[in-house]
Amino acid sequence: MEYVTLNNGVKMPILGYGVYQISDQAECERCVLDAINTGYRSIDTAQAYQNEEAVGRAIKKSGVAREELFITTKVWISNAGYEKAKASIEESLRKLQLDYLDLLLIHQPFNDYYGTYRAMEELYKVGKIKAIGVSNFYPDRYIDLVQFSEVVPAVNQVETHVFNQQVKAHEIMKKYNTQIESWGPFAEGKNDLFSNATLQEVGDQYNKSIAQVALRFLIQRGVVVIPKTVNKNRMEENFNVFDFKLTTEDMEKIAVLDTGESAFFSHYDPQTVEFLTDYGKKGLE
């Protein structure tokens, strides 16, 4: 496994396992156990995924020492604000059966995320959270938060894949020493990623799959990735990306695939913001 060192010295695996959209508790528990048995040590969940308890059970059953694991969760929109966020973080720790979190992120840049971040800073300072950061923060809101916070976000998890490589955003994060992390490293198969001729051509040179090339490209750019699959064979395939290296020519070929646009939605789009904030108001019940 390769690691990145966050801005506070904490080491984070560059490859982890994500549990987005695995809402069935038994399946999520099985998947996390399979991932840990495969060799994954970083697990990414969120309050909004409603599977923190399943993740917690899998961690306990795995038998892997707590200090070997890197566990991430995220504060949802409906839990924003200092008091609500603080209570929800304690609830997340209870559900995960953990004494501390390795990384805690603000899930979306909506509602009182400044109050949320203050609660996170406070828990960070007493050691309940080893690193704090954000998710889905575009450069404008990210810079604003950086400028008016005591603790610079250690991570910003944003949509990042071969079709949306976040080149400019990545440069801005580097300026402030925040690690970029990818959600959706396969773009959920959009734009026919899994049959892309360029990725296939590059993969054939190394006897690697399109998925492995897509992950390797991001890893070589210093992007943390958390691919999600419920298939153990795919977990193993996604994990097996450290035994080859793309050449400069390979990297340049793949860089051309960048459209500079989201394959999903834009936080600059009023309709998207209305949808996410309305959804956030409903809470998690």
Return the pLDDT at 190.
95
**Cβ proximity of 94 and 75 under 8 Å:** no
Q: What is the rounded end-to-end Cα distance, in angstroms, of the chain?
A: 37
Scored b (16 or more CB within 10 A) or e, 87-120 reads ebbeebbebbebeebbbbbbbbbbbebebbbbbb
285 has pLDDT over 80 = no
For 98-108, what is each residue's pLDDT tens digit?
999 999 999 99
Q: Which domain holds residue 212?
A: 3-281
- Domains in the chain, number: 1
Return the pLDDT at 260.
95
**Mean residue pLDDT across the chain:** 97
Q: Single out the residue of 135, 155, 139, 166 nearest to residue 262, CA to CA.
A: 166
For 213-263, what is each residue's pLDDT tens digit?
999 999 999 999 999 999 999 999 999 999 999 999 999 999 999 999 999
Q: Where are the alpha helices (DSSP H) in the chain?
A: 25-38, 52-62, 82-96, 113-125, 139-147, 167-175, 197-206, 210-220, 232-239, 248-255, 270-281
Return the pLDDT at 284.
86
Spatial distance between the Cα atoms of 171 and 52, rounded to a whole number of angstroms: 32
For 106-144, what is each residue's pLDDT tens digit?
999 999 999 999 999 999 999 999 999 999 999 999 999
Return the pLDDT at 279.
86
> What is the percent of the chain where pLDDT is above 70?
100
Domain holding 149: CATH number?
3.20.20.100
Return the pLDDT at 168.
97
Q: What are phi and psi of 45, to 5 degrees?
A: -130, -170
Q: For 169-185, what is the mean pLDDT? A: 98
Return the pLDDT at 283.
86
67 has pLDDT over 90 = yes
Q: For 59-69, what is the mean pLDDT? A: 97
Encoding tokens for residue 67?
A: 């200090």
Q: Single out the residue of 59, 148, 64, 136 nearest to residue 105, CA to CA.
A: 136
Q: Measure the CA angle with vertex 75, ends 37 and 48; round to 5°.
A: 65
User: In three state form, how does the secondary structure of 51-84 look?
Assistant: CHHHHHHHHHHHCCCHHHCEEEEEECHHHCCHHH
Spatial distance between the Cα atoms of 153 and 87, rounded to a whole number of angstroms: 21
Q: For 34-39, what is the mean pLDDT? A: 98
7 has pLDDT over 90 = yes
Q: For 52-81, what is the mean pLDDT? A: 98
66 has pLDDT over 90 = yes
The catalytic residue positions are 49
155-159 and 179-183 strand pairing: parallel
267 is in an annotated binding site: no
Encoding tokens for residue 198?
A: 């360029």
Distances (CA, A) of 16 to 1, 70, 253: 10, 9, 26
**Cβ proximity of 150 and 123 under 8 Å:** no
**Cβ proximity of 284 and 76 under 8 Å:** yes
Q: Measure the CA angle with vertex 41, ends 99 and 37; round to 5°.
A: 115
